[in-house]
Amino acid sequence: MWKRALDRAGVREPRLRRDYTEQRRAVRRFAAAEYAAARLLLPAALVPHVVAAVAFMHDTDNRIDRGAPGERAAALTEWDGLVRKAFAESGSGLPVLRCLVRTAERHPDVRAYVEVFLEGCEREVAWRSIADEEELEQYVEEYSLPALMLTACLLAPADKGTRAVFTGGCRRLMRAMQRIDFLEDLSEDVRDGRPGVPADAVAHHGADLSRPSAALGRLVAQQADQANTDLAAAACLTDVVDPSYRPFLRALVGVQRLRLDAVRHAGASLATRTSGPPAPAAAVLLLRETAARARRGLRAGY
């Protein structure tokens, strides 16, 4: 039960329990599959803190993703001030920030990644296109990876050397995920004037991102191959984390493979439609990992 998860997470104050429950509802609405994976595959004590981190990341994205660049920058400045005030005062008028502060108290690494993530949001607000692989790497390093690490740091091993391997695996995973994101949303991003596929790769293939063509098909295949290389390297994550986290990470990587397969299948048609993993296949993957977790005697606490 959710109440037991809150107990195990150390959230006992009535108002905070209501706050975390509110964030849980929000996360279930906008990230139902991710929430289901966390609920079924992670230890109960960790789930409320994962919810708090994901809710904060989503709230931040919503605040800075609307309007002209100047409006987005102003929204980021305002939000940055509210977040810093919440940490300075150990509280906030906003439930999402009250939960974030408590989670950071229990898991101090979260606070450090909040700082890096908010700095990276400046790049997210400002970018209009990705010039080349170097710029894509900078985007991932400064914005996408810190966003992932808000939750991934909750799973990180304590040993310093092993943690470096873990962070490297997260970097490869996030680079793959970001590349897949840019392919899945290609048609929408082109309409918004913010294509994420590196411009030098587009030029190399002679592709027109606004219409299906053989050239675009080759570009999609090439970008998918690069994402696949990173996904293969990210498999190391399950070797360095606590066994209780491995089913969740396997499921996470597995869903990215489903997304990648869907992108490959869509090919040049991504110019006119979005893509995503087939829901039945994702459900089967989740159920398989849940069954394997149960067989190993790992208990979610629900």
Phi/psi of residue 181, nearest 5 degrees: -55, -50
Is-contact 209 190, C-beta < 8 A? yes
What is the pLDDT at residue 200? 97
Burial of 29 from C-beta contacts in 10 A (0-12 / 13-18 / 19+): exposed
Query: What string of pLDDT tens digits covers the 302 residues of the chain?
Result: 899 999 999 999 999 999 999 999 999 998 888 899 999 999 999 999 999 999 999 999 999 988 888 899 999 999 999 999 999 999 999 999 999 999 999 999 999 999 999 999 998 998 888 999 999 999 999 999 999 999 999 999 999 999 999 999 999 999 999 999 999 999 999 998 999 999 999 999 999 999 999 999 999 999 999 999 999 999 999 999 999 999 999 999 999 999 999 999 999 999 999 999 998 999 999 999 999 888 876 444 44
Q: Which domains does the chain have, with CATH numbers?
A: 1-126 (no CATH), 159-302 (1.10.600.10)
List Cβ<8 Å contacts ≥24 apart for 138-146. Answer: 139/178, 140/171, 140/174, 140/175, 140/178, 141/171, 143/117, 144/120, 144/174, 144/175, 144/177, 144/178, 145/170, 145/171, 145/174, 146/113, 146/116, 146/117, 146/119, 146/120
Q: Considering only CA atoms, give the Rg of the chain.
A: 19
